[in-house]
């Protein structure tokens, strides 16, 4: 049996079914959790405050201010928060980032580098290259393929089906260790424009929107210094939460990142 992992579960910035999501964490084997929202969460990113936890699970989307009648603002993080997060990584604290967390802190490119990619609500520049806004598609039933044996994929079948939201987004393929790929076709015609929603208030719209074919990776790991990082694109809603293979991946990811290199 795995050693118990105590995690800080960080949310805010994107709506979700709270009862179902917290129920998911109640059911994970050998995982205890404490929930905190932004901005209160930011104080707990200090290493001294974080030491009672084994890892952080981020289901948040900080650094975006949405407006009902215009494009969102992307405030930069407080330099103290950046320093705290960098200190956690230096000390080897593990992180699991879930689903929409990959859109967090658009004004901080280093955050995208930490996660291994980015979902862009608006067109922007990433790694010195102009990028279009990203795409989304809810309720896609697709097949996930496990790409390699790894502690995060232990006990997960070689392929499985899940119904979930998918993203046409930016993945830093040269900086991640791929774990999971989808059989969905990641082309613009299969997704909707994120900017049309947040700038133009048009859901499920891709007319005139252009985006190059994107990565089919939906799960990966990174090791930054002593810190283990996992990103799982899965986890939009209660249908996804209920998938036993996603549950296994999530529990495995938490236990893996909770181990700190000495």
Q: List, as one string, the DSSP characters of the chain.
A: -PPPEEEEEEEESS---HHHHHHHHHTSTTEEEEEEETTGGGGGGSHHHHTT-SEEEEEE--S-B--SSSPPB-PPPPHHHHHHHHHHHHHT-EEEEEGGGGG--TT-HHHHHHHTEE--SS-EEETTEEEPPPEEEEEEEEEEEE-S--GGGTT--SEEEEEEEEEE-EE-GGG-EEEEEE-S--SGGGSEEHHHHHTT--SS--TT--------EEEEEEEETTEEEEEE---SSHHHHT-HHHHHHHHHHHHHHHSPP-
pTM score above 0.95: yes
Domain 5-258, CATH 3.40.50.880 — does that match?
A: yes
Which tens digit of pLDDT belongs to each residue from 74-115?
Answer: 999 999 999 999 999 999 999 999 999 999 999 999 999 999
Confidence of residue 260 (pLDDT cuts 50, 70, 90): confident
Q: What's the mean pLDDT in 63-72?
A: 96
Which tens digit of pLDDT belongs to each residue from 208-223?
Answer: 999 999 999 999 999 9
pLDDT at 261: 61
Confidence of residue 225 (pLDDT cuts 50, 70, 90): confident
Confidence of residue 1 (pLDDT cuts 50, 70, 90): very low
């Amino acid at each position: 049996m795995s050693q118990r992992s105590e995690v800080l579960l960080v949310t805010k910035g994107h709506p979700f079914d709270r009862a179902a999501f917290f129920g998911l964490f109640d059911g994970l084997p050998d995982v205890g959790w404490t929930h905190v929202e932004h901005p209160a969460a930011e104080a707990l990113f200090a290493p001294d405050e974080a030491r009672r936890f084994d890892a952080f699970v981020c289901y948040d989307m900080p650094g975006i201010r949405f407006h009902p009648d215009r494009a969102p603002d992307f405030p930069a993080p407080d330099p103290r928060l950046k320093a705290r997060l960098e200190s956690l990584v230096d000390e080897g604290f593990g992180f699991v980032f879930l689903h929409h967390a990959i859109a967090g802190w658009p004004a901080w490119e280093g955050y995208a580098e930490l996660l291994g990619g980015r979902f862009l609500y608006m067109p922007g520049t990433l790694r010195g290259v102009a990028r279009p806004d990203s795409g989304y598609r809810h309720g896609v039933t697709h097949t996930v393929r496990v790409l390699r044996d790894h502690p995060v994929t232990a006990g997960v079948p070689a392929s499985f089906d899940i119904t979930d939201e998918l993203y046409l987004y930016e993945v830093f393929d040269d900086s991640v260790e791929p774990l999971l790929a989808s059989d969905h076709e990641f082309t613009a015609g299969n997704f909707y424009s994120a900017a049309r929603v947040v700038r133009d208030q048009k859901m499920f719209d891709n007319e005139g929107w252009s985006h190059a074919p994107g990565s089919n990776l939906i799960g990966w790991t990174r090791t930054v210094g002593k810190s283990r990082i996992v990103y799982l694109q899965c986890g939009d809603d209660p249908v996804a939460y209920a998938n036993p293979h996603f549950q296994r991946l999530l529990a495995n990811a938490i236990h893996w990142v909770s181990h700190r290199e000495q």
